[in-house]
């Protein structure tokens, strides 16, 4: 009989916060100016006494491509007392104006700057510390790579890569430029999700043998390979269609793409597997201690959605992609089965938990407290990002974990496209004895929208 988990209150743990180089420079500059250079009356807000951080302590934030989901995350970020949003870059005029209105209303001024030229924006805004990226899937990796090369820390919405090769380049860029990167798999910071992951990881379910990851209940793994009929292009000032396509093959403009109907098109999407699997597979890999690897075998299924596809990990756990389980009472479900018990989670921050016994759910608060004490992380995804900007530690959804989870997504898609079982070597990052599958690890990027 299923049971519902309790809602557990939590406290955001304090974390160390050494300052960024820009802030150190500001502090030294102020000190060098001498006390006589200071005004006799300093506004309280400048010293952080109104609940906001002092200017030298603030993280200066910008945004790239903030539509519906991006504006939802932006609202969460604007509520952080040490964050100040400065500028939006978006190729869609209506969206960049909507973000400006949102930000200016929040701050009570008209200061939010707007741009539609990504490369110019990155080159000119040296004052920005970090960027929120929430474009369509096709731009996630490339925008993140260009931003990190420009010295910005990055919070990028999922799915964070279109191919295995793109994920590799995100990891390499973050490492080379020493950037903080968080992918938007919020489940890794949601109390109910963390509870399930920690039950699995800590051995409280016994020896793990099976996990389930929900895939989106729309579209299919094969996706459309055609394109929509041409419509007259808008003026570039309204919507820059060439930039909207970015690294993807040239396709004629159709307004439906801009309204979100790019989903389930091979050129622009990671399929129903990537749509929710970017979340659920990453959560599963966290729970089975496989954050830094990917599944090694993939069993093809005839169902076009990929429902029932089995992925095997080197540690002996198998993961089954699933459209629906009775234990998932909401969306984007994960489930872990051990020799002694099982736990399933679905829904958002205050989502639902089901378990094989009620006693498992009675330990929710204890397990979450153990997690926050052990890791020093808040149960808040955007807060974790900003804390890590200050401390320079890895985020909870760090580049390698993103890439390895997305590799499992991409390999599952390739398995479906080729309609045969596959073996994958996560050390060499290649399919075993399968040249055709290996060719699908990358896609060509259309000039000039490349990472070179």
Domain spans of the chain, in order of start: 51-186, 188-221+269-439
Specify the CATH architecture of the domain 188-221+269-439. Answer: 2-Layer Sandwich (3.30)
Cα–Cα distance, 46 to 39 (Å, whole number): 12
Ranges of H-type helices in 161-253: 164-176, 191-201, 241-245
Specify the CATH architecture of the domain 51-186. Answer: 3-Layer(aba) Sandwich (3.40)
Contacts of 193 (CB under 8 A, 6+ apart): 187, 283, 334, 345, 351
CB 283 within 8 A of CB 193: yes
Q: Positive or negative CA dihedral for 152, 157, 158, 159? A: negative
Contacts of 215 (CB under 8 A, 6+ apart): 272, 273, 275, 276, 277, 280, 305, 306, 307, 321, 322, 323
CA distances from 384 to 19, 231, 271, 448 (A): 16, 43, 28, 34
Query: In a structure prediction context, what are the per-residue pLDDT tens digits for the chain, which is 452 residues long?
Result: 333 333 333 233 333 333 344 444 333 433 333 333 333 343 444 455 566 777 778 999 999 999 999 999 999 999 999 999 999 999 999 999 999 999 999 999 999 999 999 999 999 999 999 999 999 999 999 999 999 999 999 999 999 999 999 999 999 999 999 999 999 999 999 999 999 999 999 999 999 999 999 999 999 999 999 999 999 999 999 999 999 999 999 999 999 999 999 999 999 999 999 999 999 999 999 999 999 999 999 999 999 999 999 999 999 999 999 999 999 999 999 999 999 999 999 998 778 899 999 999 998 999 999 999 999 999 999 999 999 999 999 999 999 999 999 999 999 999 999 999 999 999 999 999 999 999 999 999 999 999 98
Tell me, what's the pLDDT at 55? 73
Could you tell me the pTM of the whole model? 0.88
In our burial notation (b when 16+ CB lie closer than 10 A, e otherwise), range 214-243 reads bbbeebbbbbeeebbeeeeeeeeeebbbeb
Run of H or E including 327: none
Tell me, what's the pLDDT at 273? 98
Tell me, what's the pLDDT at 25? 38
Angle at 227 between CA 226 and CA 229, to 5 degrees: 130
The pairs formed by 104-107 with CB atoms below 8 angstroms and a separation of 24 or more are 106/78
Tell me, what's the pLDDT at 16? 36
Cα–Cα distance, 83 to 53 (Å, whole number): 8
Tell me, what's the pLDDT at 49? 56
Residues facing residue 49 across a β-bridge: none
Ranges of H-type helices in 5-136: 21-33, 68-78, 93-107, 118-124
208-214 and 334-338 as β-strands: parallel, antiparallel, unpaired? antiparallel
- DSSP summary character for residue 257: I
Tell me, what's the pLDDT at 349? 75
3-state helix, strand, coil in the chain (%, to 5): 40, 15, 45
Instruction: Quote the strand ranges of 217-351, DSSP E.
Output: 297-299, 310-312, 318-322, 334-338, 342-346
SS3 380: coil
Tokens linked to 436: 């055709």
CA distances from 35 to 40, 46, 97, 182, 196 (A): 10, 16, 42, 40, 54
């Amino acid at each position: 009989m299923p049971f519902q988990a309790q809602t557990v209150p939590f406290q955001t743990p304090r974390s160390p916060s050494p300052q960024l180089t820009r802030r150190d420079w500001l502090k030294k500059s102020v000190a060098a100016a001498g006390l006589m250079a200071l005004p006799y009356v300093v506004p309280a807000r400048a010293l952080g006494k109104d609940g906001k951080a002092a200017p030298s302590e603030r993280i200066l934030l910008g945004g790239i491509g903030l539509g519906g989901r991006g504006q939802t995350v932006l609202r969460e970020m604007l509520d952080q007392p040490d964050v100040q949003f400065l500028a939006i870059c978006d190729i869609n005029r209506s969206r960049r104006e909507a973000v400006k209105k949102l930000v200016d209303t929040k701050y009570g001024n008209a200061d939010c700057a707007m741009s539609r030229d990504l490369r110019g924006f990155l080159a000119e805004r040296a004052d920005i510390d970090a960027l929120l990226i929430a474009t369509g899937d096709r731009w996630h990796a490339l925008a993140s790579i260009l931003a990190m090369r420009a010295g910005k820390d990055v919070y990028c919405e999922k799915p964070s890569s279109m191919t295995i090769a793109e994920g590799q380049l995100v990891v390499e860029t973050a490492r080379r430029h020493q950037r903080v990167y968080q992918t938007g798999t919020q489940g890794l910071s949601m109390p109910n999700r963390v509870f399930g992951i920690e039950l699995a990881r800590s051995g409280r379910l016994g020896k793990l043998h099976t996990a389930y990851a929900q895939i989106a209940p729309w579209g299919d793994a094969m996706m459309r390979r055609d394109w929509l009929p041409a419509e007259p292009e808008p003026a570039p000032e309204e919507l820059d269609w060439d930039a909207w396509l970015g690294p993807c093959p040239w396709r004629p403009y159709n307004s439906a793409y801009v309204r979100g109907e790019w989903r389930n098109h091979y050129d622009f999407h990671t399929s129903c597997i990537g749509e929710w699997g970017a979340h659920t597979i990453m959560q599963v890999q966290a729970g089975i201690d496989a954050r830094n690897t990917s599944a090694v075998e993939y069993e093809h299924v005839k169902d076009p959605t990929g429902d029932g596809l089995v992925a095997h990990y080197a540690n002996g756990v198998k993961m089954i992609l699933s459209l629906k389980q009775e234990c998932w009472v909401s969306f984007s479900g994960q489930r872990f089965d051990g020799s002694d018990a099982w736990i399933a989670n679905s829904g958002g921050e205050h989502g639902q938990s089901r378990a094989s016994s009620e006693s498992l759910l009675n330990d929710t608060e204890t397990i979450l407290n153990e997690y926050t004490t052990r890791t020093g992380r808040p149960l808040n995804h955007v807060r974790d990002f900003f804390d890590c900007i200050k401390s320079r530690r890895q985020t909870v959804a760090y580049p390698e974990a993103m890439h390895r989870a997305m590799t499992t997504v991409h390999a599952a898609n390739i398995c479906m496209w080729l309609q045969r079982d596959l073996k994958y070597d996560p050390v060499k990052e290649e399919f075993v004895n399968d040249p055709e599958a290996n060719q699908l690890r990358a896609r060509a990027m259309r000039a000039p929208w490349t990472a070179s």
